[in-house]
Chains A and B, each alone.
Chain A
Amino acid sequence: QQQVKQSPQSLIVQKGGISIINCAYENTAFDYFPWYQQFPGKGPALLIAIRPDVSEKKEGRFTISFNKSAKQFSLHIMDSQPGDSATYFCAASQGNSGYSTLTFGKGTMLLVSP
């Protein structure tokens, strides 16, 4: 059972364009929704995260939009740059007593063409 569904699998965007990656989850107990960025040969790195009590979070060119009723959240990359070319993973977790395990989507390979 895939608890976090991510789309698209791959995405090509022109430099300066907007990249949009979508995720949907099933478990209503999830309470933390991060996005990770992974460059080839490296481990994933936390990019931005949101909790379900807000509908949007922005950090620089990166924005998470969250729709609790639809159980969906998305990553928007404004003014996409070639340096943004990487694999992006959405994730979700539920935690108690201070710890959590992340469930990841299958990833989106983003290529930003010059």
Chain B
Amino acid sequence: NAGVTQTPKFRVLKTGQSMTLLCAQDMNHEYMYWYRQDPGMGLRLIHYSVGEGTTAKGEVPDGYNVSRLKKQNFLLGLESAAPSQTSVYFCASSRTHGYTFGSGTRLTVV
């Protein structure tokens, strides 16, 4: 029972580079979310999805794009990475209120 799996776990990017973070869940959850965690800032919602093929903006969506082509996968893209996007990114999924989080991706943009 894997739950929510995030890849990669660590990544260092140069400013201006692009990358995609992958989130996969095996619980058949309808809803998926991307959060970023920064020291002293808590967890802030970037984008979320209420079902396959649908996405919506959260609190801090600028500089990110997402796609939910398959129910079990939720991708977070950075088209042109900036140092301000250095953070730990968490994916979560839920059936209703109870979220299950992945173990995170630590991203450093230099």
Contacts and interface: CB of A to CB of B under 8 A. Distances in A.
Interface string A33-49: 01000000111111001
A106 B99 contact: no
B101 to A, nearest CB: 3
Contacts of B42: 6, 89, 104-107
A65 B84 CA distance: 37
B90 interface: yes
A34 B98 contact: yes
Contacts, number: 62
Interface residues of B, number: 27
B103 A101 contact: no
A100 B97 contact: yes
A9 interface: yes
Contacts of B30: 98-99
Q: Is the interface of B mostly helix, strand, loop or mixed?
A: strand
A101 B43 contact: no
Provide the main secondary structure of the chain A interface. Answer: strand
Interface string B53-84: 00000110000000000000000000000000
A49 B104 CA distance: 23
B90 A101 contact: no
Interface in A62-114: 89, 93, 95, 98-107
A77 B35 CA distance: 27
A6 B43 CA distance: 12
Interface of A: 6, 9, 32, 34, 41-46, 49, 89, 93, 95, 98-107
30 contacts: A6-B42, A34-B97, A34-B98, A34-B99, A41-B103, A41-B104, A42-B103, A42-B104, A43-B92, A43-B103, A44-B90, A44-B99, A45-B101, A46-B98, A46-B99, A46-B100, A49-B98, A89-B42, A98-B30, A98-B96, A99-B30, A99-B50, A99-B94, A101-B48, A102-B33, A102-B43, A103-B45, A104-B35, A104-B44, A107-B42
